Structure 1
Amino acid sequence: MKMRLAKLSAALLAVFAVNNAYAAEVNCSQSYGIQSTVNGIVGQTYCDNNSQTFIDLVKKLKDSNPNYNETAVTEVLGRFNDADITMNYRDSSTTLEFSSPDLGVEKQTFTGATRKESQDMFVDWLKKSGIITQVMQYQSKNSANSPITGSAGLMPTLARNDFDTATESTSNVANTSKMETVSGNLVGLGLNVGSYSIAGGEKVDTATLPLSYTKKMASDPRKQLIFTVPISMYQVGSAKGYHVGLGLAYRFPVNDRWTLTPAARYAVTGSVDRATVASVISGSLTSTYTIPLDQFELTVANMVGYYSTGKFKAGEYSFNPKIKETMLRNGVMLSQPFYLKGKKLAAEYSVIDTRYVGSNKPFMSNMQEYGVTVGLHKDEAENNPKLSNIRVGVTYMHGKGSKGFTANMGYWF
Structure 2
Amino acid sequence: MCAALITQTARAELFSIEVQSEGETYQQSYDNLSDMLDALDFDEVSNYIPAYTDSSAITTVVNFRGVPVVLSSPQNSSDITMSIGAIDVSELFQGSSRDDSMDLLSDWYEGEGDDALTRLLQELAASTPSDPVAGNPTSLMSRTVGNDFDYAMDTGAMSGVELSNAGQSINGNMVSVFARYSNYSADGIESREYSLPLAYTVRFDNSEDRLIIRVPVAYVMYDGSEVYNLGLGIGYGRQMNPQWSLTPALGYSLVGSEDVGSLSQLVSTSLTSSYAIPLAEYELTIGNMLGYYSTLPTEAGDISQNPEISNTVLRNGASLNIPTPRLVADTSVEVFITDTRYFGSELYIDQYNEIGFSFGKDKTVVTEDDGSYVNYIRRVRAGVKYLFSDNSEGYSLNFGYTF
TM-score class, shorter-chain normalisation, is 0.7 to 0.9
Asked if 1:193 is matched to 2:181, the reply is yes
Match of 1:397 in 2: 387
Q: Distance in 2 between matches of 1:412 and 1:142?
A: 39
In 2, Cα distance between the equivalents of 1:398 and 1:352? Answer: 11
Partner deviation per Cα, 1:6-50 (whole Å, 9 max, x = no partner)? xxxxxxxxxxxxxx869984741222211101122111x222231
RMSD (Å), alpha carbons:
2.6
Distance 1:362 1:184 in 2: 42
Q: CA, structure 1 residues 341+286, in 2 after alignment: closer, same or farther (shift >3 Å)?
A: closer
Counterparts of 1:6-155 in structure 2, within 5 Å, are: 25=6, 27-28=8-9, 29=11, 30-43=13-26, 45-60=27-42, 61-62=44-45, 65-67=48-50, 68-106=52-90, 108-130=91-113, 131-149=116-134, 150-155=136-141
Q: Using the alignment, how far apart are the partners of 2:355 and 2:7 within structure 1? A: 37
SS class of match (1:373): strand
Match of 2:194 among 194, 197, 207: 207
Q: Which runs of 5+ in 2 are unaligned?
A: 162-169, 368-377
Number of equivalences: 378
Answering whether residue 267 of structure 2 is matched by residue 281 of structure 1, we say yes
CA-to-partner distance for each residue in 1:198-232, whole Å, 9 max, x for gaps?
21x22111111111111112341x10111111111
Percent identity among equivalent residues?
29
Equivalence for 2:150: 164
Aligned residue for 1:184?
Answer: 172
Go from structure 1 to structure 2 and tell me whether the alpha carbon gap of 1:216 and 1:57 turns closer, same or farther (over 3 Å shift).
same
Residues 87, 99 of structure 1: 8 Å contact kept:
yes
Residue identity in the other structure for 2:229: H
- Asked if the contact 1:75–1:86 (Cα under 8 Å) also holds between the matched residues in 2, the reply is yes
Distance 2:226 2:301 in 1: 14
Relative to structure 2, which stretch is displaced further, 143-152 or 364-373? 143-152
Give the superposition deviation at 1:123: 2.0
Write the letter of the residue equivalent to 1:140.
A
Q: Partners in 2 of 1:163 and 1:64 — Cα distance?
A: 53
Q: Does the aligned pair in 1 maintain the 2:156–2:237 contact within 8 Å?
A: no
Conservation of the 8 A alpha-carbon contact between 1:36 and 1:65: no
Aligned pair 1:362/2:347, yes or no?
yes
Between 323-332 and 189-198, the greater mean CA deviation after superposition: 189-198
Query: Which moved further from structure 2: 208-217 or 114-123?
Result: 114-123
Structure 2 vs 1, CA of residues 65 and 88 (structure 1 numbering), >3 Å: closer, same or farther?
A: farther
- After superposition, the Cα gap between the structure-2 partners of 1:121 and 1:392, relative to the gap in structure 1 and judged at 3 Å, is same
Amino acid across the alignment from 1:69: T
Q: Secondary structure at the match of 1:378?
A: strand
Counterpart contact for 1:264–1:284, Cα < 8 Å: yes
Aligned partner of residue 321 in structure 1, secondary structure: coil
> Could you tell me the TM-score, scaled by structure 1's length?
0.85
Q: Segments of 4+ in structure 1 off by > 3 A? A: 20-27, 170-175, 339-342
Residues 399 and 32 of structure 1: is their aligned pair in 2 closer, same or farther, counting only changes over 3 Å? same
Aligned match of 1:294 in 276, 280, 285? 280
Q: 2:329 aligns with which of 343, 352, 357?
A: 343
Letter in structure 2 aligned against 1:115: R
How many angstroms does 1:279 deviate by?
0.6
TM-score (norm 2): 0.87
Cα shift at 1:389: 6.7
Please tell me whether residue 309 in structure 1 is matched to residue 295 in structure 2. yes
Cα deviation for residue 64 of structure 1 reads 7.2
